[in-house]
Structure 1
Amino acid sequence: MPLPACLAALVLLMDSSGSVSEAHFRAQREGTAAAFEHHDVVAGLEASDGVAVTAVDFAQVPTTRLPWTMIRHAEDGRRFAAALRATGRLGHPLATAIGDALLHAGAALGEAPCEPERRVVDISTDGYETAGHVLAARARSLLADQGITINAIAFSSIDDPETAPEDPAVLADIEDWLREHVVTGFLRSSTAPGAYADAFRAKLTTEIALRIPGLPGG
Structure 2
Amino acid sequence: MRRRSALVGSMAALATAPSARAQTQVDLQLVLAVDVSRSIDEVEAELQRRGYIEALTNDRVVDAILSGENRRIAICYTEWAGAHFQTVVIDWAVIDSPGAARRFAEKLAEAPRTSQSWTAVGAALAHAGQRFESSPFVAKRRVIDVSGDGRTNDGPPAEIVRDKLVSQGIVVNGLPVMMNRSNFGRPPDLTLDKYYEESVIGGPGSFLIVADNFDHFGRAVRTKLVREISGTTPSPRSSPA
The TM-score range, normalised by the shorter chain, is: 0.7 to 0.9
The reply on whether 1:59 has 2:81 as its aligned counterpart is yes
Whether contact under 8 Å (2:23, 2:137) holds in the other structure is: yes
Aligned counterpart in structure 1 of residue 116 of structure 2, from 76, 93, 98: 93
Partner of 1:82: 106
Structure having greater relative contact order (Cα 8 Å, sep ≥ 6): 1
Say which structure is richer in helix: 2
Deviations 1:166-191 (A, max 9, x none): xxx95640001111111111111111
Partner of 1:197: 218
Deviations 1:31-85 (A, max 9, x none): 1111111111111212322111111110011111111110010000000111111
In the alignment, residue 87 of structure 1 is paired with which amino acid?
A: A
Name the SS for the 1:69 alignment partner.
Answer: strand
Aligned residue pair count: 204
Q: What is the alpha-carbon distance in structure 1 between the residues aligned to residue 94 and residue 105 of structure 2?
A: 12
In the alignment, residue 150 of structure 1 is paired with which amino acid?
A: V
In the alignment, residue 181 of structure 1 is paired with which amino acid?
A: S
User: How many Å apart are 1:156 and its aligned residue?
Assistant: 2.8
Aligned counterpart in structure 2 of residue 152 of structure 1, from 150, 166, 174: 174
Whether contact under 8 Å (1:45, 1:72) holds in the other structure is: yes
In the alignment, residue 191 of structure 2 is paired with which amino acid?
A: D
Q: What is the alpha-carbon distance in structure 2 between the residues aligned to residue 5 and residue 105 of structure 1?
A: 20
In the alignment, residue 59 of structure 1 is paired with which amino acid?
A: A
TM-score normalised over the length of structure 2:
0.79
Q: What is the alpha-carbon distance in structure 2 between the residues aligned to residue 25 and residue 178 of structure 1?
A: 20
The reply on whether 1:119 has 2:116 as its aligned counterpart is no
Name the SS for the 1:110 alignment partner.
Answer: helix
Name the SS for the 2:38 alignment partner.
Answer: coil
User: How many Å apart are 1:93 and its aligned residue?
Assistant: 2.3
In the alignment, residue 195 of structure 1 is paired with which amino acid?
A: H
TM-score normalised over the length of structure 1:
0.87
The alignment yields a C-alpha RMSD, in angstroms, of 2.1
User: How many Å apart are 1:103 and its aligned residue?
Assistant: 0.6
Percent identity, aligned pairs only, is: 29
Query: Unpaired runs of 5+ in structure 1?
Result: 212-216
Aligned counterpart in structure 1 of residue 59 of structure 2, from 39, 45, 48: 39
